[in-house]
Chains A and B, each alone.
Chain A
Amino acid sequence: MHQPIRAFIEEQFLIEFGDDFPEDTDLFRAGVMDSFGYVRLCRFLEQTYQFKFAEEEMTSNILVSLTRMEQFVDHKVSRGRAASG
């Protein structure tokens, strides 16, 4: 489920997650995330997992690390399933 996110970040930002670069690394502080890259990442998540970000959700640092993104996507997808079920 999460593999596409990891692959997208690794390809977009030319990094490899692992012991040297853990999944909970703050991508801004590590100098990996740039402004346009952030916007593209948002678009990618919306398209891949079929949801829309709400502006208010964006003020809780949900996209600063791979770990946070995965947690947020899980939450969004499960809420979407519950709503449709």
Chain B
Amino acid sequence: MSTITIVYSVLGVICTLILALIVGTFLPGFERKYIQARIQQRIGPPTTSPGIIAPIKFFFKENISPNSPVPSLYKSLPIVCFIVVLLILLALTPQMYFFGALASIIAIVGFLKVEKVAYVLMGSLSKSVMSLGLSFPDTVKGAAHPNTEKVYLEDISSNRAFRMIAFGSFPFYLALFIPVTITGSIFLGDIVAYQQANGPFIFTLAGFIGAIVFFIGYMILLNEYPFNILKSKADVIEGCYMEYASKYRSFVYLTKGFLMFTLGALFSVLFIGIPPNIFSWGIIVNILVAFIFSILMGVMSAFSPVFTYRQFYPVVISSSLLGVLALAIGLL
């Protein structure tokens, strides 16, 4: 191992991360303008506005202290989320595969769990001015049930995030383990090597079913339209993100696009066998996958209403069953 190789790999990792960030900032705007707005027969916002200009704008806003029992913890959570996504992408780059335990499916599942737990904490720590915060004399004499315990809207969102941990992310984790059953190894390096030798998994039956399950899990993980019960406008307004302002809100915005790219890259590692690496042409496949996923997601979300649990459970159960089927096929 010469120093040149180390410098090269560090440079490669950093360049890959920067490229991912740049591509990630375009994804939300791309989805909003070219998919949803076109379906809705309108012009839509400029591609750059939702993803990159808005975070920059929030960065220059006044830094207020949020209405929260623990403001410092609440403020740190979006940064934690951002770092978690960064670590996932880091684990996906081929230069990092020698880390072993970090570059494995188990580590990625762990990182994603951290993100989910962050939602629960965010929800329970946020006490927004909307709803209960607005002073309104509604518990006056003659009101129904005057002595009930009052909760903020974000508390409902927090409860929902908790349920999401229990069942919502199930299809996604099942999909992650389909390549493991085929390859027989939890290390990303082995999965990539196997696919480069034997062809991408997406062209096998198990891999194809796995890809469908992965996509459903991807939408649930991103809280996009049919699955956005966590932050549905009809009741909890924005859910756990309610109190973020200025820099912290810009992190929330950046994380969304970045997560979209990272999950796309995860798909191309697990099912196509092409890791994100700035030094190979394979990176174009990564970017393409990220864009195709956002197109599919845009189409899906434009044509569906918000799912409540009544629709959510069947979708999760049926896609989990599909996932189990794919696992079984993979094992055979």
Decide whether A and B assemble into one complex.
no
> Which A residues are within 8 Å of any B CB, using their own CB?
none
Using a CB–CB cutoff of 8 Å, the interface residues on chain B facing chain A are none
